[in-house]
Structures are given as C-alpha cells and as structure tokens.
C-alpha cells in the first residue's frame, strides 16, 4: 500500500491554534504555515516563542528547498500569544505540550470551554489514552488524538486516535484538515501508546538495555538494526530525534497503564535525562549534534 499523502485540496477558511512552542509545536506549525494556513502559536514563555518563530522560518525554507511544500502556495501568517484566552472560531486547536497527563488535561479543559461546539480539539500525544483526557473537557465528542512524528515536515503519515467518546464528525473534519496539510491520516482506536508508540518505544527501551549491558555501542546497535532489519535510522538515533525525556515520559505512561515490564524505562535512559542528555534538542544523547534544538519546557511554566 502506498504511503504517499493524498493530493492537496483547496484550503477552507479558518486558522489553526497550536498550543506549545516546543519541538513538536514548532514542527506542526511549520507544516501548517507552509500549506497556507494562518497559525496562532501559544506558549507562556516569550523567549520560547521567539525561538519557535526563528525555527519556523528556518524550517519553512528548508522544507521548500527539499520539495516538501506545495508549489505556488503562499505561506500562511504566524501570530504568537502567551495565553489561549482569546480564540476567535479557529478551524481546529492542536495541543502539543509535554507528555504529561496533568499538564495536558488542565490546558485542554481550559481551551475546550472557549471553543464553539464541533471545533476539533486535537491532543498531539504519543501515549496518553484519549479517553482519559476526554474526562476533563466540556465536549468529549470534540476531542481526539493525533501523533505527528518528528520531524513533521518530513514524515507525512499521521496516526489519528479515535477515543470511545470521539464523534465521527470531528474524526472526518480532522481527516479533511490533514489532507489539506498534505498528510495521510491513519485512524486507530484508543489504547495506551496506540500503535506506533506501543510497538516502537519498548523496542527503543530494549535497544538501550543492550547498550547498558555492554553488549554493543549505540552505533553498532543502530548499524545492525538498519542493515539487517531495515530500520531506517536505528532505534537509538530515533530516540535522540524523539527526545529522550519525551521517550521516558511515554514509556512511563505505557508501563503504568499496561504493566508491561518491557515499557519500564531502563536505567540508562533515566540517567541520560538526569544528565540533560536529551538527544538532538539538547545537542547530546546517544550521539552528539552540532546544532541542538531547544527542549520543550511548557510543563515548567504552568
């Protein structure tokens, strides 16, 4: 089956609100702007917003050079705000803050009260079940999950999570939105970690345990997974791309909700988080990078 996204449809009216100006919020915002959507990017830290604006500008130009944006389409306009208080009938709201239930639930509850009925309220989550978050919002039928992969400008398939209380109208509206963003939506049912994280994250955890045990270095693990098993980047380079702190948060969610010991974050991952070795965004993880990104810190500002 082809993984190419559907052809771009004409953009409908409306703008997108993105909550959180960290790595994922910046990446999703870049995709939206590059496909002609106006975007309101919300984060309580003005320095983070400034970094995100610069990152979006770089990301748009790089995506254009790589042929990842539609030809001949004007980019949308970016606005920023420190608060989601004044929302004027957005097309959809995408929450992209840290993978922490309490932070997501508080923010989604606040925003849901300010939205017209039928507005898709989308939590970009890698592991937290949508139904848990649905208990905190005004209209559970308007809430669903997405899992954009990092970097969103390059990965065109998006996992869409339908919670048991999610309305079909909002699933359909989100599918149309993703099509206009040049993305292929794959809709799955709700569960801890859904499909991608439930399969990928325990594998990364196991790869880290192999390094922890001294069986092989990260480069050797990744070389074997790439060369023998066809993994495109290797699990430990993938961990650096996800962000090791985000990976640990997701694994913790999976372990607590499933009891699967393969999801219990291993000591090496925990040690890297304590040391600030978070992957690409910090400049050091399993590998070292010349141009670190700023870690997502929305949780610390609540």
Q: Give the pLDDT confidence of 280-290 residue by residue, as tens digits.
A: 999 999 999 98
Taken in order 77, 82, 85, 86, is the CA torsion positive or negative? negative
Query: In this predicted model, what pLDDT tens digit does every residue of 244-269 receive, in sequence order?
Result: 999 999 999 999 999 999 999 999 99
Q: Which of 89, 147, 201, 231 is catalytic?
A: 147
The bridge status of strand 157-162 relative to strand 143-147 is antiparallel
Judged against a pLDDT cut of 50, whether residue 228 lies above it is answered with yes
> What is the per-residue DSSP string for 214-276?
TS--HHHHHHHHHHHH--SS-HHHHHHHH-HHHHHHHHHHHHHHH--GGGSPPHHHHHHHHTT
- pLDDT (mean) for 148-153: 92
Full set of structural domains in the chain with CATH: 16-189 (3.40.50.720), 197-301 (1.10.1040.10)
Judged against a pLDDT cut of 50, whether residue 295 lies above it is answered with no
pLDDT of residue 290: 84
Judged against a pLDDT cut of 90, whether residue 112 lies above it is answered with yes
With residues binned 3-state (H G I as helix, E B as strand, rest as coil), the percentages for the chain, rounded to 5, are 45, 15, 45
231 is catalytic: no
pLDDT of residue 86: 77
Query: In this predicted model, what pLDDT tens digit does every residue of 50-96 receive, in sequence order?
Result: 999 999 999 999 999 999 999 989 999 999 999 988 788 999 999 99
């Amino acid at each position: 089956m082809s993984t190419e996204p559907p052809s771009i449809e004409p953009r409908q009216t409306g703008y997108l609100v993105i909550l959180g100006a960290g790595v994922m919020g910046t990446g999703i915002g870049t995709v939206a702007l590059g496909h002609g959507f106006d975007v309101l990017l919300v984060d309580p830290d003005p320095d983070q917003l400034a970094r995100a604006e610069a990152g979006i500008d770089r990301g748009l130009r790089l995506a254009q050079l790589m042929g990842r944006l539609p030809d001949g389409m004007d980019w949308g306009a970016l606005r920023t705000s420190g608060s989601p208080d004044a929302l004027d009938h957005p097309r959809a709201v995408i929450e992209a803050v840290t993978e922490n239930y309490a932070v997501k639930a508080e923010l989604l509850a606040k925003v849901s009260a300010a939205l017209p009925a039928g507005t898709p309220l989308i939590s970009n989550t890698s592991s937290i079940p949508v139904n848990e978050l649905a208990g905190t919002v005004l209209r559970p039928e308007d809430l669903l999950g997405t899992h954009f992969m990092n970097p969103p400008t390059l990965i065109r398939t998006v996992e869409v999570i339908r919670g048991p209380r999610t309305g079909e109208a909002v699933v359909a509206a989100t599918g149309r939105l993703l099509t206009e963003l040049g993305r292929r939506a794959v809709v799955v049912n709700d569960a801890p970690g859904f499909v991608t994280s439930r399969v990928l994250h325990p594998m990364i955890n196991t790869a880290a345990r192999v390094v922890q045990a001294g069986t092989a270095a990260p480069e050797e693990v990744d070389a074997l997974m790439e060369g023998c098993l066809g993994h495109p980047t290797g699990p430990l380079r993938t961990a650096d791309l996800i962000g090791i702190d985000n990976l640990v948060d997701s694994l913790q969610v999976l372990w607590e909700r499933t009891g699967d010991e393969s999801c219990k974050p291993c000591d090496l991952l925990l040690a890297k988080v304590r040391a600030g070795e978070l992957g690409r965004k910090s400049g050091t993880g399993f590998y070292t990078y010349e141009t670190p990104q700023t870690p997502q810190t929305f949780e610390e500002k609540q």
